[in-house]
C-alpha cells in the first residue's frame, strides 16, 4: 500500500488546478483556492495556478527581461522561491520592477501578488511606486510554449554544445571576487584584534554581527567552490567571535548557539584550523558556564585535529585549567607538561586570524599561573604572574585583568592583603563596559578566598570584599541584562 501523500503535494495541486479549470474557474479563483487550501503566499499561489515550476517561472522572467532594453534580469529557481517566501527571514524582498514583471507574467495586478503581511514589510516608497503604475496587460509569455521537435543529427550535437557553454558561463560566474574575500578576511582580523584592545565589547559585537550577515548573504549566492570554502571559514570565525563575546557578556546559551553554527561552517569548509578554534571557543563557553568536564571534552577534541598555529597551546591550557577547577591536581599537572611542550614546539604556520584566535606567551601564562594557584603552588603562581606583568609590552586588557586577579589571590593565600589590593587596583579601575563575566567570576572567587583566609577579620579584607561587590554591580553582563533605557545600561 502506497503511503499517503501530504496535503499540498504536487498531486493535490495538479488535481485542484485541473478540476477548477474544467469547472470554468479563472486563474484568480484558482490562485485564491490555492492560498486558502494549501496556505500559500500570494506569489506562490499565482505560480501554482499557472502550473509553473520555480525554474519555469525564472526562465520566463529572464525571457521577458531580455526582450526589453535596459531591463537586466538574472533569475533562477532559488531567487523566485525567495521572492515567494518574503518577508520571512529566509526570503528576499522583490524589487518593484520584479513585482511588476511577475504580475505581467501571471496576467494579474501587482496588488494580487501582495497580502497584508507584504504591505506592512514593503517600504512606503515601493508601495507608492507600485500604486502609480497602470495594471499590466496579460502577457503572451504565459502561453504554453509550442512543442518543439527534438533536434537530430548535427543539430543535436550543436544544441548539446550550446547547453554546455551556457552551463560553463553560469559556473564561471561569481558574486564575490578574490579582492572582496581578501577584504572580508582583513575585516575579520581587525575585529578579532580589536576585541582584545580597549574597543567596547558591544560595539565589536555589533560590527561582527554585521560582517557575519554580509558573509551569510554572499553564501546564499553563487561563487567558485574555492571562494565558497573561504566564505564558510570566515563565517565560522565570525560566529566564533560572537560566541566568545556572548559568553563574556554572561550569555552562555546564546554563545553555544553561535558555537554550533561555527562548527557547521568548519565542517562545510573541511577546515581543521577552524574546527580547532571553534572547539577552543566552545570549551571556554562551557567552562565559564560551570560545565568543566564538557570543557575538557571540547579541548581534547580540538587538540586531536592537530591544527597549525597556536591553537594547540591554547587547548592544552584550557584543559589544564578545567582539571584544576575540578580539583584534579594530578590531571592538571600532566596537562601542564603538554602545555610546556606546545610552548617550545616550533610554529611552522601563523594563525589564520590572530587576535582573539591566537595564543601568545602572556595568554598561556595567564592559564598556567591560575592552574598553579589552584593546585596549591601559590608562591610559584605569585612569582610567575609578577614576572609576566613586569614585562613592558602591549597585551589584551582582559587577559591582563585575569593575571592580576591571580596575583592578588596568591597574595591572599600567602597572607599579604596590601599586595592583593595593589595588584587589583588596575582591574578595579576598568570602565564598566570592560568588566566582563569571566573577570566578575574570578573576582567573586577572590572575595571567597579572602573570606576563608586567615585575614578574614582584618580591615583590609573587609575593604577588598566591599570593592569587589561594588565592581561586580557595575559589570558589563549586568548592564546588558537591564531593560533598554534603564539607568546604567551600556550603549
Distance of CA 68 to the CA centre of its chain: 41
Whether the predicted pLDDT of 440 surpasses 70: yes
Confidence of residue 221 (pLDDT cuts 50, 70, 90): confident
- Residue 350 predicted with pLDDT over 70: yes
The CATH code that applies to domain 179-481 is: 1.25.40.10
More confident residue, 105 or 286: 286
- Position of cell 566591599? 466
- When pLDDT is averaged across residues 339-350 and rounded to a whole number, the result is 86
User: Is the pLDDT score of 88 beyond 80?
Assistant: yes
pLDDT digits (tens, 9 = 90+) for 239-261: 999 999 999 999 999 999 999 99
Q: Which of left, alpha, beta for 399 (phi over 0: left; psi -120 to 50: alpha)?
A: alpha
Distance of CA 297 to the CA centre of its chain: 23
**CA-CA distance, 164 to 55, in Å (whole number)?**
18
Parse the chain into domains and list their residue ranges. 10-141, 179-481
Greater model confidence, 490 or 224: 224
Q: How far apart are CA 486 and CA 472, in angstroms?
A: 17
pLDDT in tens, 386-436: 999 998 888 999 999 999 999 999 999 998 888 888 999 999 999 988 999
pLDDT digits (tens, 9 = 90+) for 461-474: 778 888 888 898 88
Is the confidence at residue 69, as pLDDT, over 70?
no
CA distance linking residue 78 with residue 64, whole number of Å: 18
* pLDDT higher than 60, residue 137: no
| pTM (predicted TM-score) | 0.69
Which backbone phi and psi does 308 adopt, to 5 degrees?
A: -70, 170
pLDDT digits (tens, 9 = 90+) for 37-56: 888 889 999 999 999 988 88
pLDDT surpassing 50 at residue 13: yes
**What is the rounded distance in angstroms from the CA atom of residue 115 to the CA atom of residue 86?**
11
Span 282-291, average pLDDT: 97
pLDDT confidence tier of residue 141, bands split at 50, 70 and 90: very low
Residues 361 and 235: their CA atoms lie apart, in Å, by 28
Mean pLDDT confidence for 299-304: 97
Instruction: Summarize the confidence of residues 340-344 as an average pLDDT.
Output: 90
Contact 360, 311 (CB under 8 A): no
Assign 483 a pLDDT band (cuts: 50, 70, 90): very low
What cell does 380 get? Answer: 610559584
Tell how many helices (H) and how many strands (E) occur in the chain.
24, 0
pLDDT of residue 463: 80
The reported pLDDT for the residue numbered 132 is 57
203-210 long-range contacts (CB < 8 A, ≥24 apart) are 204/241, 204/245, 205/242, 205/245, 205/246, 205/249, 208/238, 208/241, 208/242, 208/245, 209/242
Task: Give the C-alpha distances (Å, rounded to integers) separating 334 from 28, 84, 282, 311.
Answer: 74, 58, 22, 19
What percent of the chain is modeled with pLDDT above 90? Answer: 50
Please determine, for residue 485, whether its predicted confidence score (pLDDT) is greater than 60. Answer: no
Q: Which residue bears the cell 558574486?
A: 175
Amino acid at each position: 500500500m502506497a503511503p499517503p501523500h501530504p496535503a499540498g503535494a504536487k498531486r493535490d495541486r495538479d488535481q485542484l488546478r485541473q478540476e477548477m479549470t474544467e469547472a470554468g474557474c479563472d486563474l484568480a479563483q484558482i490562485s485564491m483556492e490555492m492560498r486558502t487550501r494549501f496556505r500559500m503566499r500570494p506569489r506562490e499561489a499565482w505560480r501554482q495556478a499557472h502550473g509553473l515550476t520555480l525554474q519555469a517561472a525564472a526562465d520566463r522572467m529572464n525571457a521577458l527581461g531580455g526582450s526589453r532594453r535596459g531591463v537586466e534580469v538574472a533569475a533562477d529557481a532559488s531567487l523566485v522561491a525567495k521572492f515567494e517566501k518574503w518577508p520571512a527571514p529566509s526570503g528576499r524582498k522583490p524589487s518593484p520592477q520584479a513585482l511588476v514583471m511577475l504580475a505581467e507574467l501571471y496576467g494579474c495586478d501587482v496588488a494580487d501578488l501582495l497580502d497584508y503581511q507584504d504591505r506592512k514589510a514593503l517600504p512606503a516608497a515601493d508601495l507608492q511606486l507600485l500604486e502609480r503604475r497602470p495594471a499590466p496587460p496579460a502577457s503572451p509569455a504565459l502561453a504554453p510554449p509550442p512543442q518543439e521537435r527534438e533536434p537530430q543529427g548535427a543539430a543535436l550535437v550543436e544544441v548539446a554544445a550550446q547547453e554546455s557553454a551556457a552551463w560553463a558561463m553560469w559556473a564561471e560566474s561569481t558574486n564575490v571576487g578574490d579582492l572582496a574575500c581578501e577584504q572580508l578576511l582583513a575585516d575579520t582580523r581587525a575585529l578579532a584584534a580589536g576585541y582584545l584592545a580597549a574597543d567596547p565589547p558591544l560595539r565589536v559585537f555589533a560590527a561582527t554581527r554585521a560582517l557575519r550577515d554580509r558573509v551569510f548573504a554572499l553564501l546564499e549566492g553563487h561563487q567558485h567552490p574555492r571562494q565558497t570554502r573561504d566564505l564558510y571559514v570566515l563565517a565560522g570565525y565570525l560566529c566564533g567571535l560572537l560566541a566568545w563575546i556572548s559568553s563574556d557578556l554572561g550569555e552562555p546559551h546564546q554563545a553555544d548557539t553561535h558555537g554550533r553554527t561555527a562548527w557547521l561552517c568548519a565542517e562545510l569548509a573541511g577546515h581543521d584550523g577552524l574546527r580547532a578554534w571553534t572547539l577552543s571557543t566552545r570549551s571556554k563557553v562551557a567552562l565559564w558556564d560551570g560545565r568543566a568536564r564538557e570543557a575538557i571534552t571540547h579541548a581534547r577534541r580540538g587538540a586531536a585535529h592537530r591544527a597549525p598555529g597556536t591553537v594547540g597551546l591554547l587547548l592544552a591550557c584550557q584543559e589544564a585549567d578545567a582539571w584544576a577547577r575540578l580539583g584534579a591536581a594530578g590531571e592538571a599537572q600532566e596537562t601542564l607538561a603538554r602545555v610546556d611542550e606546545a610552548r617550545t614546539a616550533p610554529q611552522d604556520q601563523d594563525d589564520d586570524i590572530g587576535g582573539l584566535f591566537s595564543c601568545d606567551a602572556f595568554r598561556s601564562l595567564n592559564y598556567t599561573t591560575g592552574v598553579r594557584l589552584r593546585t596549591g603552588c601559590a608562591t610559584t603562581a605569585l612569582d610567575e604572574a609578577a614576572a609576566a606583568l613586569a614585562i613592558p609590552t602591549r597585551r589584551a586588557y582582559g587577559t591582563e585583568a585575569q593575571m592580576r586577579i591571580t596575583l592578588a589571590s596568591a597574595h591572599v593565600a600567602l597572607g599579604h592583603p596590601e599586595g592583593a589590593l595593589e595588584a587589583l587596583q588596575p582591574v578595579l579601575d576598568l570602565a564598566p563596559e570592560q568588566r566582563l563575566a569571566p573577570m566578575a567570576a574570578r573576582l567573586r572567587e577572590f572575595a571567597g578566598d579572602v573570606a576563608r583566609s586567615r585575614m578574614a577579620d582584618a580591615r583590609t579584607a573587609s575593604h577588598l570584599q566591599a570593592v569587589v561587590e561594588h565592581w561586580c554591580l557595575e559589570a558589563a553582563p549586568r548592564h546588558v541584562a537591564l531593560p533598554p533605557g534603564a539607568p546604567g545600561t551600556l550603549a
